[in-house]
Amino acid sequence: MRPVNAPLEDLFREVRHATPASCRVVTPELRAAALGDHIDRLYRAAWAMTGAREDAEDLVQETFERVLRRPREIARDDDALPYLLGVLRNTWVDIVRGRARRPTAPLDVEAASHIAAPAAASSPLEKVAAREVFAAVAALPDELRDVVAAVDVAGLSYAEAAQSLGIPIGTVMSRLSRGRRRVAEALGG
């Protein structure tokens, strides 16, 4: 005797087999080798989100762990970075929420003053400026910081940032404008 839902199963099977091969999109799976292509941009975005080099390293590592634990298929190679930035942001939100539930030690101002600048900065003046910019970006409210980190730090286009953050492109543009203005004000500009 056939189960009651057997006609539905047969219908789904027919529809699946009737779909022309040209309509099926076989997508590349996001693999560990592809993750390495985006590590620099993810690290810069993580540093802008966290405000600290060590936290940025931990955040990128946790992001990679999550992505590798549950591989996802992506439509195009160009979609990998927005997807990874979305996972990075969600991981950061989870970490912040977790920290809010646990008691924390007060910030060690002396240790915070020794944050290393990115490798691209070569002179002491550039290192100080980079540190100030990262601190100003880290001080932004979450919604502004995420957009500034995605566009200005990670180098995403407005469309890619909108996709990775799950917001409309107009919202990206307005938050980016407000975020840039606040960073400029914080830097005295």
From 82, 90, 87, 84, select the one nearest 160 (Cα to Cα): 82
Instruction: Say what the pTM is.
Output: 0.49
Instruction: Determine the pLDDT at residue 106.
Output: 54
From 104, 29, 91, select the one nearest 57 (Cα to Cα): 91
d(CA 74, CA 161): 16
Residue 20 DSSP SS3: coil
Q: Is the pLDDT of residue 105 over 80?
A: no
Q: Is the pLDDT of residue 33 over 90?
A: no
Mean pLDDT of 14-41: 57
Mean pLDDT of 117-128: 62
pLDDT-derived band at 29, boundaries 50, 70, 90: low
Instruction: Determine the pLDDT at residue 66.
Output: 87
Q: Ranked by mean pLDDT, which of 9-18, 20-29, 88-97, 119-128 comes out on top?
A: 88-97
Question: Please, what are the domains in the chain?
Answer: 23-186 (1.20.140.160)
Q: Is the pLDDT of residue 181 over 90?
A: yes
Q: Is the pLDDT of residue 90 over 80?
A: yes
From 27, 55, 64, 43, select the one nearest 111 (Cα to Cα): 55
- Weakest-pLDDT range from 18-22, 78-82, 101-105: 18-22
Max CA separation in the chain (angstroms): 80
Query: φ and ψ at 73, to 5 degrees?
Result: -90, 140
Q: Which residue has the higher pLDDT, 14 or 140?
A: 140
Mean pLDDT of 15-22: 41
Task: State what percent of residues in the chain have pLDDT above 90.
Answer: 14
